[in-house]
Chains A and B, each alone.
Chain A
Amino acid sequence: MEAVLWQVLAGTRGGPNRARLLRALDERPRNANQLAEDLDLAYKTVRHHLDVLEENGVIESTDQNYGAIYLPTDRTRTHWDTVEEIVDQLE
């Protein structure tokens, strides 16, 4: 899981933005629209990042409907020190 977190949050082009999304979701679970607004990112970008994070088991949604709320998975919570190592250095 740690390798996945490094790859998805720090080893890829969209990594830093995904780390920001994850930090925001840790503060308070949100849906894609709220994330786009709060982080000043395009909705499409947020949608893509959420899909990548969900595919890799980093976050999960409450349901599959439109406007689903996302939050970090238990697996991510157990390795939160790794996430912090990455996220703490971001603006």
Chain B
Amino acid sequence: MTATLGVTTAATTLDVATASLDVATTLDVATASLDVATASLDVATAGIATLGGATLGVARVAAALNILLLLVLVGIWGRNYLEIRSKHTLGSAVFALLLLAENALALFYYLNPPQMSTPALRAMMYLQILEFVGIAFLVYVTWD
């Protein structure tokens, strides 16, 4: 009877030990997973930060290029207006001048960026790029 009890107790102790080991292993795995998750989050955060920086950089370059191209247009149309004083030549020159002001303002904001969400910044960048394509084509046909 006593012997039987002893064996039973030993077996139970073994069970408990095994269970503890299982729990410990699970905990290890869980900790490891958490580590991986944290690392992934770090990578993702860094990625978003880089993306934000690139977006701002592209927007700045586009705005700067627009300013240069618009200076060319203001030069051509301004000179034409001096030779041919008409509302047509004046209209073109004023248009280019105001678009130049818009891009100068945009560049100022890109260099001193207010708190802005990444999607908003990306949208601004796309507008600036589309504007660049339009202005570049206008310079191409006006250079003739």
Interface residues in A69-91 by Cβ distance below 8 A to B read 85-86, 89-90
Asked if A90 and B83 make an inter-chain contact with CB atoms under 8 angstroms apart, the answer reads: yes
With known contacts A10-B89, A11-B92, A52–B144 Cβ distance under 8 A: yes
Interface of A is mostly: helix
Chain B: CB-nearest residue to A91: B83
Complex-state Cα separation, A16 to B141, whole angstroms: 15
Whether B84 is near chain A, meaning CB under 8 Å from some CB there, is yes
Asked if B86 and A86 make an inter-chain contact with CB atoms under 8 angstroms apart, the answer reads: yes
| Distance to closest chain A CB from B92 (angstroms) | 6
Asked if A10 and B80 make an inter-chain contact with CB atoms under 8 angstroms apart, the answer reads: yes
Complex-state Cα separation, A19 to B144, whole angstroms: 14
| Distance to closest chain B CB from A58 (angstroms) | 13
**What number of A-B contacts does a CB cutoff of 8 Å give?**
40
- B65-98 to A contact mask, C-beta < 8 Å, 1/0: 0000000000011001001111011001000000
Complex-state Cα separation, A11 to B144, whole angstroms: 10
- A15-53 to B contact mask, C-beta < 8 Å, 1/0: 110010000000000000000000000000000000010
Q: Which of B80, B83, B85 contacts A11 (CB 8 A)?
A: B80
Interface size class of B (residues with CB under 8 A): 10 to 19
Whether B137 is near chain A, meaning CB under 8 Å from some CB there, is no
Asked if B85 and A15 make an inter-chain contact with CB atoms under 8 angstroms apart, the answer reads: no
With known contacts A10-B89, A12-B76, A19–B142 Cβ distance under 8 A: no
Asked if A14 and B144 make an inter-chain contact with CB atoms under 8 angstroms apart, the answer reads: yes
Q: Which of A6, A9, A12, A16 contacts B142 (CB 8 A)?
A: A12
Complex-state Cα separation, A9 to B142, whole angstroms: 11
Complex-state Cα separation, A89 to B81, whole angstroms: 10
The 5 closest A-B pairs by CB, nearest first: A16-B83, A10-B84, A13-B76, A6-B88, A12-B144
